[in-house]
Chains A and B, each alone.
Chain A
């Protein structure tokens, strides 16, 4: 017998909001999408800013874990364009300065060093500055932003967008130590910082040690270093024929940048089959739209050169064999030669800590990675915290932000002698959306449209200008239309068994057949005997207490459209549509929600 579902547990309804649940920073997605539809771009932007700090950047570059999670994928083909809607909020917002947290002029006397000026460190600064902390950022490059600035080309992410969102935090009064590469952690520890946060990313691009690498090195470049040089204008051209080795997003950025710096014949090669490439589907699509061919199952064997002058790369064709879910790449013996002037290596990156002395109390594991607590982000030296790619290797911007928020909580607890394991609870709320007999304060008449494509700049123009943004973003009308596709999964179907008269009205109206009245049973059996069996085990079922007839109400959350028809057809109000607000706890407790609501 299943017990009635405990909807008081904040995770129950949070899980129903699939996009927010999937977002590492738990951004309240449906809430900001509704604000976009109301043309409240500034509010939509600020809700984002509070959760993910870089909405303009992420609206263009996020890895979007929210989109595969989007419920829309389960009832039709394409998710809501959550990421690009975020950009629409950023593009159309007005001045936000009055909405930013106040920075106390009287400091709390605690000093924090942030090493590396990327998204993780900046998020820590964003959360600690409003509390009166004195934060100092050490950055080896002349400007802060980390990989957002150095690794993402400006045709995907204009410099102005980075400057705006990075400077907003720096202008809270963060002390800037730029062009200062930290060569010894000891030297920092010896200063009077109360806590040190290491957010140095994964700046070391992997090399490829095959014959010819050393001899032809002047024309073989490590992708992320090369992209950094392009970002800081140290490099402005490349050979006509370019081979990019690697199948991740960096490879996609390298090949598309090459096209804009004079590459005419640019190829991408990957060892694995194309379906296994690490790059996001949309990044691959963009590269292919620009006419870049991708050669899969190509394993590099040798850099061919004549007296140190690179001539090309020799590949061996591979074949993927699958056995018991494991993939094996088997060499076929067939070789292929690609002529080229330059090679860009984009075969992965890792974090590296040659600058951390091994005798200062920070323990490293067998893979030479620091031991970092998964919850508190604290290292074995209590004063030192890690976050972003520096903590556990390459992830992405949104994870770095999520780490930063958590590390800031830990640092705040640490500086106030509070237990680091005692994490603050999220703020949750559940409010009825009923406005009239059949009126709700959210748009329940959802759009049936397919996903709207984001307009692109003309290829002929964008391919000749490194700084011309390829994607133009949604205009207001498109943003509205796309926003209407959102199913409002944060508007929960709340059931009160004491009011139910078991008239079946909700069962009859439900367009997706997720509501059932049946005899209670084990979860396994209940799932099987629903009108449409609830076979997606990653989605919960909502089970009520016993009803008058001895049955229980069982609702499969999997496909629910949140259309509110069950509540509209309910004669007694046993069903109600209630907005579930979930605000992740941050060190800085001021919230834009008070302003928005």
Chain B
């Protein structure tokens, strides 16, 4: 663990974003995770994404459960709202927070234990509810905090550090998310920021439930020769599902891709994402094809990463429930107490 604070000195030529901040203004405290943990790269990618989107930190809420992954919200966005909840219960807390204040950007950080075991029910229902949340699963296939037991996302063929076999098959959280009707589903790798940062930017701008499964090697317990979630294994077995670029509303689309290869998808808030197809079967808007590709790749021993599925037209929980268009804390007394006449009218309905 690093004991010193990160020096405040920064490169004098560091660029600033639209609101005059450098990426360093989006940092948190120095990580206490193991040196080389993939989670720290995800943290850095979240910082980059929020910086590049020029999001003001005080309009962001970061939530997490329990585990190595769930410690990380302390390492980014020091000036954002935060809630470190009970194990596996991040989606419930996020639901409550989101219903109370729909104006914030919600980032949920969870791990494979927090999501695929103790919080699996919470995960499913958050998707079912179409909660407007960017749900990031920092997936390393192991319980690092309790010394390296297999987690529910660890592949059957992936032995532990001491060479013991894994008796159970893996839960594929991305396939599950598509099946359950999530509007934005992606998978990425902590070691590839060029892919991860645009995915995060698109997910943060997506109105509805967005899920990113990020393979994040555990350098201490799951980065060995027979692990399927090690840096080397992922680099060797990665299959890229398209190439994503996030295009802010102000910028015109200017891609060098050949015509017909690139799909532009318009998000609710006016931003575009451009998706470059790398294979004939790459169509992120057709869930059946996507699920097929994912299953085929998987049986070929490949790990599919990229934007897997997106439905730009899904409604979110607030639309479904027809809730107040304003955050609850901004409702005035008049909004909350419509007065005697209104009450009388309501009562009359039951007479």
Q: Which residues of A contact B (CB under 8 A)?
A: 74-76, 437-438, 444-446, 448, 501-505, 507-509, 511-514, 532-533, 535, 548-549, 559, 561, 563, 565, 568-572
Contact = CB atoms under 8 A, between A and B. Distances in A.
21 contacts: A75-B9, A438-B2, A438-B3, A501-B231, A502-B231, A503-B37, A503-B41, A503-B219, A504-B41, A504-B44, A504-B193, A505-B37, A507-B44, A508-B44, A509-B30, A509-B40, A512-B7, A533-B13, A549-B235, A565-B2, A569-B40
A533 B4 CA distance: 27
A505 B10 contact: no
Contacts of B217: 503
B8 A448 contact: yes
B43 interface: yes
B279 interface: no
A572 B219 CA distance: 9
Contacts of B41: 503-505, 508
A430 to B, nearest CB: 22
Report whether over half of chain A's contact residues are helix, strand or loop; otherwise say mixed.
loop
B219 A571 contact: yes
B12 A568 contact: no
B5 interface: yes
Contacts of A503: 36-38, 41, 191, 217, 219, 231
Contact of B7 (A437, A511, A535, A568): A511
B232 interface: yes
A-B CB proximity, top 10 nearest: A571-B36, A508-B44, A445-B4, A503-B36, A75-B9, A571-B219, A571-B35, A511-B7, A504-B41, A569-B35
Contacts of B235: 548-549
B7 A569 contact: no
B1 interface: yes
B6 interface: yes
B14 interface: yes
Contact of A565 (B6, B12, B24, B219): B6
B104 interface: no
A438 B13 CA distance: 29
A437 B11 CA distance: 27
B34 interface: yes
Contacts of B232: 501, 548
A503 B36 CA distance: 6
B104 to A, nearest CB: 26
B1 A438 contact: yes
Given A501-B36, A502-B191, A569-B36, A509 B13 contact: no
B160 to A, nearest CB: 18
B231 A569 contact: no
A222 B253 CA distance: 74
A99 to B, nearest CB: 34
B172 to A, nearest CB: 24
A533 B7 CA distance: 20
A568 B35 contact: yes
Given A75-B12, A532-B11, A549-B235, A511 B36 contact: no
B219 A532 contact: no
A505 B40 contact: yes
Contacts of A563: 4, 7
Contact of B14 (A501, A502, A532): A532
Interface in B31-60: 31, 34-38, 40-41, 43-44
A495 B168 CA distance: 41
A571 B14 CA distance: 27
B231 A444 contact: no
A75 B8 CA distance: 10
A555 B328 CA distance: 50
A511 B2 CA distance: 14
Nearest to A503: B36
Interface string B177-218: 000000000000011010000000000000000000000010
B240 to A, nearest CB: 15
B6 A511 contact: yes
A193 B29 CA distance: 69
B191 A504 contact: yes
B81 to A, nearest CB: 23
Given A74-B12, A513-B11, A568-B2, A508 B40 contact: yes
A532 B5 CA distance: 22
A445 B1 CA distance: 14
A502 B223 CA distance: 12
B255 to A, nearest CB: 20
A272 to B, nearest CB: 31
Contacts of B35: 505, 568-571
A105 to B, nearest CB: 53
A570 B36 contact: yes
Query: Which of B1, B9, B10, B223 has most chain A Cβ within 10 Å?
Result: B9
Contacts of B1: 437-438
B337 to A, nearest CB: 51
A511 B232 CA distance: 27
Contact of A571 (B34, B44, B193): B34
